[in-house]
Amino acid sequence: MNINQSIIDRAEQLKAKLQEASYAYYVLDNPIMDDTIYDQLYRELQDLETQYPSLITSDSPTQRVGDKLDRQFNSVAHNIPLYSLENAFNFEELNNWQNRWQRQIENNPNFNYICELKIDGSAIALTYENGIFIRGLTRGDGVMGEDITHNLRTIRSIPLKLNMDNPPPILEVRGEAFFPLEEFNRINQEREKNQEDLFANPRNATAGTLRQLDPKIASERKLQFFAYNAYILPENNCFDTQEKALNFLQQIGFLVNPNYQVFADLNQVKQYLDIWEIDRKNLPYMTDGVVVKINQFSLQNELGFTQKFPRWAIAVKYPAEEMTTTVEKIIVNVGRTGAVTPLAIMKPVTLGGTIVQRATLHNVDRVRELDIRVGDTVIIRKAGEIIPEVVEVIKDLRPANSQPYQMPSHCPECDSILVRPDNEAVTRCVNSSCPAILRGSLIHWASRDAMDIRGLGEKVIISLLDYKLVKSIADLYKLQDFEIKDLERMGEKSAQKLITAIEDSKKQPFNRVLFGLGIRYVGAVNAQILTDSFQNIDNLIQAKKEDLERVYGIGEEIANSVVEWFTIVDNIKLINELKILKINFQSDNNSNKTDQKLTNKTFVLTGTLPTLKRNDAKKLIESAGGKVNSSISAKIDYVVVGEDAGSKLEKAQKLNLKIISESDLLDLLNNN
């Protein structure tokens, strides 16, 4: 089979990068790549070699069980090879694994599955002779491990003597050493104070600690250990099932993760996977998936091993928050404020459970910093953002003859010259007639948190603009149903409903109207604060910068933006048109004077509340004069916590912030 040269080059680049990462991790003890990124690049190389077998070479990372050993430690042969696990990244791959192992069994056996959380630490093999701990090894290359007994003796959950009367001559125990999150955070805080490099994650910190030459360091760091396998040698046939092995380990003194369960089939396994994808965020240690094993040892022995993996077990990894993909092209998007944002259009990948094809590059400075180019392999991250961002370019995998990306000099929508205001990172189109700015303004005006015009989505707005039916926000309120009934996907009934929804939006309160105008830096919270303070649009237009800055929650940046917006003639013209059209520019004095019980109080909401939706709770707080932030800091007055609260709760506890429930919040609103 003829192979394109670009594919050959890609395979060689992947081999080199993976070997470099392995050397840094295992030999230099200085990781240069996150484990999830390594797994993805490894999978890409594996797929290429499967499709083109001639690419397989003896030095390929796919052709060995583990990696090189460090010369600082003595290498010792494992009593039983310590294999790594095959990975599955979705239920389909898990089902394929089941089909594979079942094809290798002649008779349909009686079996069940046992699921155990995959602890994100370092795999360890412990050897006990006559009940006494004599040696502990790292995985190493799977055949030989590094002797780190001196450090493992410092882990309190590893018994130095087994809790049994007649111990076997040799007992081999497998498990995972790991960092509890509380201890990991404590150590990083200490390292920060001492101006030392921080550990990237608990797994890297665990590996680095176990391979310290001085056991005092390991002792101070308080690692933990979960045991998950036991072998009585040389027979190795003392247990019927993995479940019994775990019970045995608990009885003889080991800490076993309590969250394992036995299931009859993969449908039950899937329910377990779905539950722990959420619940794992509340655990005091890191997990990155679930290990699914055939419970019966007789069936495990019959299936045996491949060159690298046991056939009877697989690790199901949860969706990554970071992924690698390749850049297919780079475009720019013009927003409602004229901001021109570069976007990477990429080969689609699944990230955080959703398919992602584009990622923000923020601005021209970020583009230059990344030196991102078409064809690059990039790491993208989805951390709560709707559009993920590119966090790193893997330049070792860059194709030959790639060219640096140049931002356009003219707006792609209206061909106006783009400008970059002083002291701003953002490039802008300053043509107020730019179709992109008008389109974005209309979409924002109709959005749920602004005028909430049901049926007026982006596609309808684009149609209205294409047919030149609207040229401003005010034109929406002049539309007639006969003008829009022939638009795509509209019809008479839908047209009537849309006209009714537009008319009903006139009833929206002043704070929503102000937010809908799209003044820079004036979000929903600040709009509420401004309308409460100035009562009507005329007072706000006449307000000076110092008047605005005297309002709690309104800083210099917001004040400047508001004053500047009202100096633009077209904006005042729009306000006057909307007044004539009966848009509400007046606060309801009665509602605004209603018990502002939470004035000057700042809240953070986290987790799922029992009865209130997050947005409803936010509105209640803001209507009572409070402010809702998205992130934890020492300035937060209350943290409202529901089910499945994650890292925000942990940060709040460390800062000793006031933590309250939904019922506590309602008490504050009713009884303060």
Q: How far apart are CA 143 and CA 66, in angstroms?
A: 8
The sign of the CA dihedral 460, 514, 383, 614 is negative
CB 500 within 8 Å of CB 454: no
Tokens 């095959």 belong to: 86
Phi-psi region of 88 (alpha: psi -120 to 50; beta: other; left: phi over 0): beta
Residue 367: strand, helix, or coil: helix
Largest CA distance in the chain: 93
**Closest to 394 (Cα-Cα) out of 407, 378, 380, 410:** 378
Q: How far apart are CA 495 and CA 487, in angstroms?
A: 9
Strands 354-360 and 287-294: unpaired
DSSP codes, 323-336:
EEEEEEEEEEEE-T
* Sheet of 170-178, strands arranged across: 132-138, 122-129, 170-178, 224-233
CB 627 within 8 Å of CB 553: yes
Q: How far apart are CA 648 and CA 652, in angstroms?
A: 6
Q: What residues act catalytically?
A: 118
DSSP codes, 616-640:
HHHHHHHHTT-EEESS--TT-SEEE
Backbone phi and psi for residue 533, each to the nearest 5 degrees, phi listed first: -85, -35
